[in-house]
Structure 1
Amino acid sequence: MTPRQLTIRLIVLATAILGLNYIIWRWMVSINWEAWWIAIPLVLAETYSLLDSLLFGVTMWRYKQRDTPLPPPAGLTVDVFITTYNEPFDLVMGTARAAKNIAYPHRTWILDDGNRADLRAIAEAEGIGWITRSDDWANRPRHAKAGNLNNALLATDGEFMLILDADQVPDPKILDNTLGYFNNRRMALVQTPQVFVNVPPNDPLGSQAPLFYGPIQQGKDGWNAAFFCGSNAIIRREALMQLGVMRYVSETELALNKALKTADKVVAKAGRQLGPGQERLASALSTLATDLQQVRRELNEGQAIADVTYRFQERVDAVARNLVAEDFAALHAELNSIEGLSRTIDVDGSLAVVDDVALDRLSQRDWSPLGAVETVRVLIDSVNAEKAGEAQAVMPLATISVTEDMATCMRLHSLGWESAYHHERLADGLAPEDLDSMLTQRLRWAQGTMQVMFRENPFMQKGLSLAQRLMYVATMWSYLSGFAAVAYIAAPVIYLILGILPVQSLSNEFFLRLIPFLVINQILFLVVGRGVKTWRGQQYSLALFPTWIKSVTSAFGNVFLGRDLDFRVTPKTLQARSRLPWHLVRPQLIAMAVLALAAVVGVIRLLLGQGDLLGSSVNFVWIAFDLLIFSVVIEAVRYPGYDAWLNSNKKKEGNP
């Protein structure tokens, strides 16, 4: 253990002890129950912040600075993928030309999701490969960037792939400096930092992330949980393909088991409704029940799902032909009328997706024998192993969220694969140049993370170590900060305007417990960062509270309520505007106005002898801190873009 690691661990322990000492006391002693409506939200926000600090401390506990890897062996085959949709040709080709000049032997491909013939002609004229979606993707889910990469995986065969966004210009030695990690046969992924060249030193949009692409990734790396961040990463094809095949098998088996359980219920319920003299119908249902048991036996024997379901469908068709003819069109109309099935019935009459709510409704309806037979046929057909509803049966990169990186990496870790974070700048990217683009990007990142949390909670995933679960949860947890921010804004406003204190009193005990925790927490950031500028990131973690709240609510609506997400690709160039976009930060401006008004009211109440000097002073400082945090949004709205900033800076320095 290095002296630096020992120092970090001692500070982490001190942070945990002081933080728990404070928050336990807050819950046990200091809550003002007469004002529970603000006291409880505030202590919950403080508890959230403590847990956030503890998760950060756990991350830093295994802080890891890797040695330079051994040189890669000769002869590895590498595909360099440059993903693009609608970015300008010159931007895409600038990255592609730099990728072509990477020193280690490789093939360069532009993955053009926009299917632009002109871009293809330019690329191929320069000896650069061009791939777009195959015809199999027509009228099927496209899955954004994940779909683009999955399509390219089946069109190429390199042992490794370097994934680059269209604006990430690689260094010629990016492969030479990273492929050596793959001498470890269990290494699936190597992530390098994302650094942006079009950002002023004051970083008004908070684009650089030196704390994440540094100490945080190095901390996660110590727990074998370094994240895949979507670009500037090298991945082993074998790991991805194993992941894709295993997910395909497990998801198909899960869907089939759900369908079989529902089919059993449908057949049993239809049988109970039969009366005397309906032996022929009872025999048909009995045959169907026996066939369902045979399906289970064949699956337990390890027979192929496609073969088992195909034979079952033939037997179901035979049962149906022996029953009295019915109006199948009316029956299908009834199936389609069930909410949850109407959006999942495919064009050929089969279910495109097995919907749990729809399955439950199917099992509860009263079906005629013929209706039961046809319902079972549709259910089993819904999990056709060929996955007719998708362009590809195997999807190695995760498609469960608007960002493919986190879920894919978590799945790789759950299979026992390893990842590494290589802390060296090996690509130069372009950050959003206006507030609207930045907010679009941050919202998509946050929505993708929350979708993963709701769909594949790390604590529910098999194969992950406890530390890996905590590393994923720590990132997901951070996006809940928007709700805590509301309490932190409201508490000082309520005190200064109404004189209501959310704690029993501002006693010496309160300050002796709170201040040491706040100080040691900041010391942890300073020691971990060691010269890294983290203030801008701390500002935006609070200042973007409306974006974080929207990410949680919209992702929840998408996952549990089936609502669409407002997905937009982040523009890579400055967007034209006729006026300053103050509307984009309206909630923050309202919060600032309310905070300022509360400060004015607090001063007036003090002058009138209605306020407590100590309580008011504490809350004045609190409000000043909040306003300082929120001031970044004013700077962001006024930011003219990098080129304009550069020209303005040159004029100030007297340069032409």
Structure 2
Amino acid sequence: MSLLIATRRLKPGEIGLALLWFAIVVPLAFLASIPTSNAVQGALGLFAVLCVALLKPFTMKTIVARFALLAIASAIVMRYWFWRVTSTLPPVEEPLSFGIAVSLFAVETYAIWVFFVSSFITADPIERKLPPKVAAASLPTVDILVPSYNEPIEMLSITLSAAKNMHYPQNKRTVVLCDDGGTDERCNSDDPVKAQAARKRRADLQALCAELGIVYSTRERNINAKAGNMSAALERLNGDLVVVFDADHVPARDFLARTVGYFVVDPKLFLVQTPHFFLNPDPVDRNIGLRADCPPENEMFYHQGHRGLDRWGGAFFCGSASVLRRAALDSVGGFAGETITEDAETALEIHSQGWKSLYVDHAMIAGLQPETFTTFIEQRGRWATGMMQLLRLKNPLRRKGMSLSQRLCYLNSMTFWLFPLVRMTFILAPLAYLFFELQIFVATIEEVAVYMSSYMAISFMVQNGLYARVRWPLISELYETAQAPYLSGVVLRTLFKPRGAKFNVTAKDEVLEEDFLSPLYKPLLILWGIALLGVLAAAVRWFLYPGDHNILMIVGGWAIFNFIILSAALGAIGERQQRRAVPRVDMNVPAVAAIGVGEDYTFTAATVLDSSTSGAKLKLIPGPDTDHAHLASLDKGSVFYFTPEFPKSPHLENAVRVQVVNVQRTPTGLVLGVRYDPDQPLIVRETIAHLIFGDSSVWEAIRESRNKPMPLLKGMAYVFSLAFTSVAHVMKMLAAEPARRKRAQEREREVAVVADEPAHILAFGQAFDPVLSEPVHPMRQMLAQGRGATDGRLHFDAPGTHPDRGPRA
């Protein structure tokens, strides 16, 4: 009866999958509870491992192979759990050992529950087809919101330009900059410096919006952070759909064309969510030095996990790169703001009203990830806090109006963020025996060999089989370990005090001038040191207590594995130099270059090899009509124009003025590194935005190139090798840290002498701007002040002034 009630709200196909899943798992649960001898269990485990190994290559091709693999894995996992609960707990008469052992077992039970729920959700991820074509007259009106707080104007100009130039009838779309940094509250602050900065920001952004022809929106007070900011803007808008882009999420031109059509055919659809694609690696990836072809950490969620949620009607709002129906938003009073994850909370409220959602796995925005480990942890801490708030304040199991599958989807997404507590438990548990000789489980070496070995082997094999293209072996363990000592306290505090959290904006415009040790280095380094002591304790016990060899083979091996993963994760605290503030994007776009002075231009064919929002690499190609003398005259400091050729967008023909910063002469042409002149009309910035961000197929090609499987054993060996390189990198930085801090103090004294007010240099390379009274990185200072310029602009060495528009090829 309960199964019929649970499946009553599912679609016919979903009911079939649910019944198939239960038909497989329930009998296996019964079989898993039957006691056997160690010999039979060993044979069963070996047979299961062989079957999983044979099925693994086919798991991404057929659902039958996936279900067979998961059925076999489920049997082994459940047999392991029954063995743990019935045979491995120490006696209650030893309360300390029993308490620790039960805590470890509870965490293992949670991990096994996650395995079953995640397998259920992602066993058959859905593939969405393109939306139907809709006549222009029938298209809904769209309000495009870009919420902002303290992002640089240069970043906003690119995002807003791209949003304005998306394919859609102009009379049916409105682009709105939602500025929370220039509110009345901030402009009238009692702090005169803060008020002056807010007023200047408001004026600058109003001028930017006027030049771009978009709407500027602000409000009286900063209430409910991003959710309140967007809801305030909606009060003055009346579009049928609402699109949200973060300030650093630049949309491709086909974003609306690939999403809006779904709303036309399904009046109950409230959300179309798309992936978040990032141009730069996250700081864990960069600091540890993961291979360029290693799939990014977020791909496991955006390429597979969210498609699984979509299968069961649980695709949720991720805060950006999303389209929502205005009527659905209004039905719940706008964007929710009770928690700091307004996106998931809003989706939960609307799903509870019976609305539907879907997920389109095609990257149509390009954004920026945090550059430092500090801001990475701040961002993940905010996500963890918000999800724990939702779990406590709006538990999906108690929500009416949703199907059982939707509740499981939300519960799975929320409880995922308990991983810091799980990871810390697994790291510290073996130390209870190695340091204090407390029993964490009672078993013979034979029992461990037949139960635990098959369980562990199959766990790794299943993960490698199901997520082969989006997650290499042990990379999840590496990321979770790097975050665990920092997020554990965040999770616990929020569970006990869910209303005490505060929304903090993640900085995305940082530049790392040199290698340095993250100011957050101590927790992870201390945990690594404790794990090292655990390995040493295991070695000492091995030699001093020969009778403990059996238990040491288990607990000591566990401690060594933890130490290896911790060693690999340790590299995350070693920040690597990152002078380039804006990532470059490889491309191969034809262009025309105009070289000359005044009206005397020579035109030549060119190719844009890569570009960022600040510069590009161009190859000038000699031709029969090319003046070779003009090409030969190009050198560092030369100024010329170029126009990318956009066959589908002939109206974007405003030439871009550039200055040469480096020259490479090759047999096939002249390769130039150029810098864009920032002092040119914003219409030219639209050309640059279209050049870099206009074509979503570029992002999909990059995703495809990274989503390549890694064999299990080879992947493990790779992570083990990272343990050596990460430790060496961090130890080198630890040794150099005193000298680096001394140099930082000297720079601080130099700045204090020059400035009217002292500018405080932080130990990790940031500076406090005496005007803004908040941390500002060198890139933001450059954007605000210019590189040595007194007029706030980048200086170009070419004499004379340049026209508003360059030559047209």
The reply to whether TM is greater than 0.5 is yes
Q: Hey, what does 1:63 align to over in structure 2? A: 125
Distance (whole Å) between structure 1 residues aligned to residue 577 and residue 277 of structure 2: 17
User: Does the aligned pair in 1 maintain the 2:268–2:356 contact within 8 Å?
Assistant: yes
Q: Is the 8 A contact 1:83 1:165 kept in 2?
A: yes
Aligned to 1:589: 525
Among candidates 216, 228, 253, match of residue 130 of structure 1: 216
1:233 aligns with 2:322: yes
SS at match of 1:215: helix
Q: 1:126 to 1:487 in 2, by over 3 A?
A: closer
> 2:425 & 2:282 partners in 1: Cα distance?
33
- Aligned counterpart in structure 1 of residue 462 of structure 2, from 478, 502, 524: 524
The structural deviation recorded for 1:549 is 2.0
1:81 aligns with 2:145: yes
Relative to structure 1, the CA distance from residue 200 to residue 145 in structure 2 (aligned partners, 3 Å threshold; closer, same or farther) is closer
Shift of 1:499: 4.0
- Deviation per CA, 1:583-603: give whole Å up to 9, x if none: 414222222111111211221
- Which amino acid in the other structure matches residue 64 of structure 1? I
Note the 1:19-30 alignment, pairs <5 A.
Answer: 19-30=77-88
Shift of 1:536: 3.3
User: Gaps (5+ residues) in structure 2?
Assistant: 1-16, 18-59, 183-201, 289-295, 585-616, 618-670, 674-809
Distance in 1, matches of 2:352 and 2:502, equals: 30
Deviation of 1:435 after TM superposition, in Å, equals 0.8
Percent identity of equivalent pairs: 30
Alpha-carbon RMSD: 2.6
Residue type at the aligned position of 1:597:
L
**Residue deviations 1:411-465, cap 9 Å, x none?**
1111111111100110000000001110110011111111111111001110111
The one-character-per-residue Cα deviations of 1:170-216 (angstroms, maximum 9, x if unpaired) are 01001101112212111110110001101179823797401000111
CA drift at 1:121: 0.9
SS in 2 for 1:165: coil
The 2-side partners of 1:644 and 1:172 are apart by: 26
**Equivalent residue for 1:175?**
256
Name the aligned partner's letter for residue 233 of structure 1: S
Distance 1:46 1:557, change over 3 A: closer
Residue of 437, 441, 454 corresponding to 2:375: 437
More strand by share: 2
Q: Hey, what's the Cα distance between the residues in 2 that align with 1:175 and 1:447?
A: 32
Q: 1:94-105 maps to which residues of 2 (within 5 A)?
A: 94-105=158-169
Matches within 5 A, 1:408-557: 408-534=346-472, 535-557=474-496
Helix, strand or coil: the match of 2:245? strand
TM-score (norm 2): 0.57
Q: Deviations over 1:207-243 (max 9, x none)?
A: 7401000111011000000121000001111111122
Q: Residues of 1 paired with 2:372 and 2:491: CA distance?
A: 24
Equivalence for 1:119: 205
Matches within 5 A, 1:155-170: 155-170=236-251
In 2: Cα distance, 1:624 partner to 1:97 partner: 52
Q: Which residue of 2 aligns with 1:315?
A: none
How far off its partner does 1:529 sit? Answer: 1.9
The 8 Å contact of residues 280 and 369 in structure 2, kept in 1 or not, is answered as yes
Distance 1:611 1:421 in 2: 57
**CA shift for structure 1 position 478:** 1.4
Aligned CA distance change for structure 1 residues 574 and 468 (closer, same or farther; 3 Å): same
Comparing both structures, which one devotes a greater share of its residues to helix? 1
Structure 2 residue corresponding to 1:623, chosen from 554, 559, 575: 559
Query: Residue by residue, what CA displacement relative to the aligned partner does 1:584-627 show, whole Å, maximum 9, x if unpaired?
Result: 14222222111111211221222223563333233333223222
| Equivalent position of 1:146 in the other structure | 227
Q: Is the 8 A contact 1:38 1:487 kept in 2?
A: no
Q: Is the 8 A contact 2:432 2:438 kept in 1?
A: yes
Among 211, 224, 233, the residue aligned to 2:300: 211
Q: How many residues align?
A: 491
In structure 2, distance between residues paired with 1:204 and 1:8: 33
Question: Residues 343-364 of structure 1: CA distance to partner in whole angstroms, max 9, x if unpaired?
Answer: xxxxxxxxxxxxxxxxxxxxxx
3-state secondary structure, aligned to 1:480 = helix
Matches within 5 A, 1:25-424: 25-33=83-91, 34=94, 35-74=97-136, 75-105=139-169, 106-115=173-182, 116-133=202-219, 135=220, 138=221, 142-182=223-263, 183-199=265-281, 203-204=285-286, 208-244=297-333, 396-424=334-362
Q: Which amino acid aligns with 1:110?
A: L
User: How far apart, in 1, do the equivalents of 2:577 and 2:367 lie?
Assistant: 15
The Cα of 1:54 is off from its aligned counterpart by 1.2
Alpha-carbon distance in structure 2 between the residues aligned to 1:402 and 1:486: 25
8 Å CA contact 1:22–1:517 kept in 2: the answer is yes
TM-score normalised according to structure 1 size: 0.70
Q: Residues 464 and 471 of structure 2 are in contact (CA less than 8 Å); yes or no, is this contact kept in structure 1?
A: no
Does the aligned pair in 1 maintain the 2:528–2:566 contact within 8 Å? yes
Asked if the contact 1:161/1:237 (under 8 Å) is kept, the reply is: yes
Q: Residues 485 and 545 of structure 1 are in contact (CA less than 8 Å); yes or no, is this contact kept in structure 2? A: yes
Shift of 1:579: 8.0
2:537 matched residue in structure 1: 601
Name the CA distance, whole Å, in 2 between partners of 1:431 and 1:72: 35
CA distance in 2, matches of 1:12, 1:514: 18
Q: Any conservation in 2 of the 1:437–1:571 contact (CA below 8 Å)?
A: yes
Map of 2:509 onto structure 1 = 573
Query: Is 2:61 the counterpart of 1:8?
Result: no
Q: Which residue of 1 aligns with 2:44?
A: none
Structure number with greater CO (CA < 8 Å, separation at least 6) is 1
Shift of the alpha carbon at 1:124? 1.2
Whole-Å Cα distance in 2 between the matches of residues 446 and 72 of structure 1?
40
Give 3-state SS (helix, strand or coil) of 1:573's partner. Answer: coil
Secondary structure of 1:568 counterpart: coil
1:512-559: CA deviation from partner (whole Å, max 9, x where unpaired): 222222223223322322322344333222331233322323323543
Deviation (angstroms), 1:58: 1.6
CA contact (8 A) 1:196 1:208 kept: no
Matched residues in 1 for 2:374 and 2:482: separation? 15
Mapped to 1, the partners of 2:523 and 2:393 lie a distance apart of 29
Contact 2:251 2:366 in 1 (8 A): yes
Distance 2:131 2:446 in 1: 53
Contact 2:149 2:180 in 1 (8 A): yes
Contact 2:155 2:248 (C-alpha < 8 Å) held by counterparts = yes
Cα offset for 1:508?
2.1
Tell me the distance in 1 between the aligned counterparts of 2:233 and 2:567: 44
Aligned partner letter, 1:121? A
Is 429-438 or 180-189 further displaced after alignment? Answer: 180-189
Tell me by how many angstroms 1:629 deviates: 2.5
Q: Which amino acid aligns with 2:387?
A: T
**Whole-angstrom CA distance in 2 between matches of 1:72 and 1:51:** 44
Instruction: Go from structure 1 to structure 2 and tell me whether the alpha carbon gap of 1:609 and 1:522 turns closer, same or farther (over 3 Å shift).
Output: closer
**Structure 1 residues 30-39 or 235-244, which shifts more?**
30-39
Cα distance in 2, alignment partners of residues 528 and 233 from structure 1:
27
Bigger shift: 488-497 or 463-472? 488-497
Contact 1:228/1:409 (<8 A) preserved: yes
